[in-house]
Amino acid sequence: MLRRAVDVKLNKWVETSKKALIVSGARQVGKTFSIRECLRNHQCNYIEINLIDKPEMVAVLEKAMTVDDLIIGITSLMDYKFVEGETIVFIDEVQQLKDIITRIKFWVEDGRFRYILSGSLLGVEMRNLRSAPVGYVQMLTMYPLNFEEYLIASGVVDDTITYLKACFDQRKEVGEGIHDKILKHFYRYLVVGGMPEAVREYVETGDMNVVTEIQQSIIAFYKKDFTKYESENKKLYLEAIYNTIPSNLLKQNKRFNYSDIGKGLYFEKTENSFIWLTSAGVTIPAYNATEPRLALEQNKKSSLVKLYNSDVGLLTSMYGNSVRAQILLQNDKINLGGVFENAVVQQLTAHGFPAYFYNSHKLGELDFVIEYKGRILPIEVKSGKDYYIHSALDNVLLNREYEIEEAFIFANCDVQVDQNKIYLPVYMSTFLQDDMVLPILEPII
C-alpha cells in the first residue's frame, strides 16, 4: 500500500478539526483513495457522495442551504442514517457543485456533522474558492508521489531513508553502494513518475508497458478537460501549451516560446491558459525573478516562464519508449537536463516551494531560485558529468550585492562540499523542506 506524507495531515484533521476540509489536486493524484483509507482506518461513520457517479445529487445539494435540507436531500436518494456528532459527509468530485463554498460556513456552524470536499479542477471550476470562509475551512493540496514516497512504495526501508536524510542534513557522503542503488531508483522514478496508479502497477508487476498505458490514459483525461473548457472560451490554448512542454525541456533555453503555439502570440493573449493549467494542477510554472532577493514573488516577471509537467513520468511518457528505455539504462549520453529539472521542480512544489529562475545578461541564468529557511537559495540541476561547470552560479555567488550564503547543485554525484557550493545527489531534492517557523511572541507591555 502507498504511504503518503499527506496522510499525517488527514489523520490530524480527523482527530482534531471541526472545520470543513477541502482536498484539491490534479486528476489521479490519489485524493479519493487517501481520504477513504483515512476514514476507514479511524473507523469513522461517514457517507461518501460522488457527484459524477451520482449526478442527481448535484441538484439536491444545490438546494441544501441548511443542514436539515442536506439531511433530507441525501436520505431521499441514499440509504443512510445520519448520526449527530459522528457522521462525516465526504463529497467527492465537488467541482460539479460550483457554489458549495457559499454554504460551507452555515454547515460547519451548525456543528452536528463534519465535511470533506474533494475534487479536481477546483481552482478552475469552483466559484469563490479563494474566498472560502476563514475559520470554517482547511485547505489541503495533493500532488503526485514525491521521490521519498516513491522510495517507500518501492520497498526501501525507513532506516535507509533516515540515513539519506542524515547525509543531506550533515552534508556527508552517502557511500557508493547505497548511492548507486538510490540513483537507480531515481532513474526509474523518471519513467514511472508519481501518479499512484502507475506506481502501484510498477511495484506490483514491474510491467512498464502497462505503466505507460496508465500514463497515456491520464494524459488523455487531461486533454479531455482542456477540450471541455476551451469550448467555452476560444482564446485559450491549453492543449497546444501542454504539448510543447516536452520539446521546450530539450532546449538549452527552456523558457516558453509563445510563437511555438501560434504565430503572433504573446503573453497577454495566453496568460489565462497558463493560469488554467497551473490551477488545474497539470503543469508547474517557474517564473522569472528579476533579482535573486527575498520576496521573489514581488520580483516576478510573469511573461518569462519555464513550464514543467506536474509529473515527470507523464513527461517522459510523451517522449516515447525509445527515450524511456535509455533513461532506465541510465544512459548519460542523452539530454536529460530538462527531465532532471522537471523531477526537481516536482519535489519543490510538493514541499510548498514556489520555483523561480533568474536570468541576467551579465551574470547568466540560474535554473531555480527559492526562498529556503529565510534566505535565497540558488539551485542548479545537472544531468551529465560536467556538473562542476556552472558559471552563472559562480557569478551570482561572487556578487556581494545579493549576499547569497550558499548554493545547491543537484547532480549524479555523491555529497560534496566546495566552500559555499554544496553538491548533492539529485535524488536528495526530495529532502528540501522549509522548517522555518516564526517565534511565539510575548505581549508588548
- First-to-last alpha carbon distance for the chain, in angstroms, is 54
Cell numbers for 428:
536528495
Kindly state the helix (H) or strand (E) to which residue 59 belongs, with its residue range.
Answer: helix 56-62
Q: Which residues contact 435 (CB under 8 A, 6 or more apart)?
A: 373
pLDDT score recorded for residue 157: 97
Q: pLDDT of 55-76, one tens digit each? A: 999 999 988 989 999 999 999 9
pLDDT score recorded for residue 262: 76
Q: pLDDT of 9-60, one tens digit each? A: 999 999 999 999 999 999 999 999 999 999 999 999 999 999 999 999 999 9
Alpha helix positions (H), 280-320: 312-317
pLDDT score recorded for residue 259: 80
Residue at which a domain ends, from 111, 141, 171: 141
Q: List the beta bridge partners of residue 32.
A: none
Asked if 382 and 422 sit in the same domain, the reply is yes
Residue at which a domain ends, from 141, 161, 179: 141
Asked if 390 and 421 sit in the same domain, the reply is yes
What is the total count of domains within the chain? 2
Strand boundaries in 217-363, DSSP class E: 283-289, 300-309, 356-360
What is the band of 214 on the pLDDT scale with cuts at 50, 70, 90?
A: very high
Asked if 151 and 300 sit in the same domain, the reply is yes
Asked if 72 and 170 sit in the same domain, the reply is no
Q: Could you tell me the CATH number of the domain that includes residue 111?
A: 3.40.50.300
Q: Does residue 270 lie within any of the structural domains?
A: yes
Range of the structural domain that residue 243 is part of: 147-431
Q: pLDDT of 281-322, one tens digit each? A: 999 999 999 999 999 999 999 889 999 999 999 999 999 999
Q: Does residue 437 lie within any of the structural domains?
A: no
Q: pLDDT of 242-258, one tens digit each? A: 999 999 999 988 988 88
Q: Does residue 443 lie within any of the structural domains?
A: no
Q: pLDDT of 316-346, one tens digit each? A: 999 999 999 999 999 988 999 999 999 999 9
**Angle, CA 303 vertex, CA 302 and CA 308 arms, to 5°:** 75
Give Cα 379 to chain centroid, integer Å: 18
Asked if 57 and 131 sit in the same domain, the reply is yes
**Angle, CA 105 vertex, CA 102 and CA 106 arms, to 5°:** 95
pLDDT score recorded for residue 128: 61
pLDDT score recorded for residue 234: 66
pLDDT score recorded for residue 134: 78
- Residue with more model confidence, 271 or 282: 282
- Provide the edge-to-edge strand list for the sheet that holds 407-411: 300-309, 283-289, 356-360, 364-372, 375-381, 407-411, 421-425, 416-418
Q: pLDDT of 158-204, one tens digit each? A: 999 999 999 999 999 999 999 999 999 999 999 999 999 999 999 99
pLDDT tops 80 at residue 264 = no
What is the band of 272 on the pLDDT scale with cuts at 50, 70, 90?
A: confident
Asked if 134 and 196 sit in the same domain, the reply is no
Length of the chain: 445
pLDDT score recorded for residue 236: 83
Q: Does residue 208 lie within any of the structural domains?
A: yes
pLDDT score recorded for residue 122: 82
pLDDT, the chain, mean: 93
pLDDT score recorded for residue 163: 98
Asked if 126 and 151 sit in the same domain, the reply is no
Q: pLDDT of 104-162, one tens digit each? A: 889 999 999 999 999 988 877 765 666 677 789 999 999 999 999 999 999 999 999 99
- Residue with more model confidence, 235 or 127: 235
pLDDT score recorded for residue 132: 73
Q: Does residue 298 lie within any of the structural domains?
A: yes
How much of the chain exceeds pLDDT 90, in percent?
Answer: 79
Segment 251-273 mean pLDDT: 84
Asked if 169 and 51 sit in the same domain, the reply is no
Asked if 279 and 408 sit in the same domain, the reply is yes
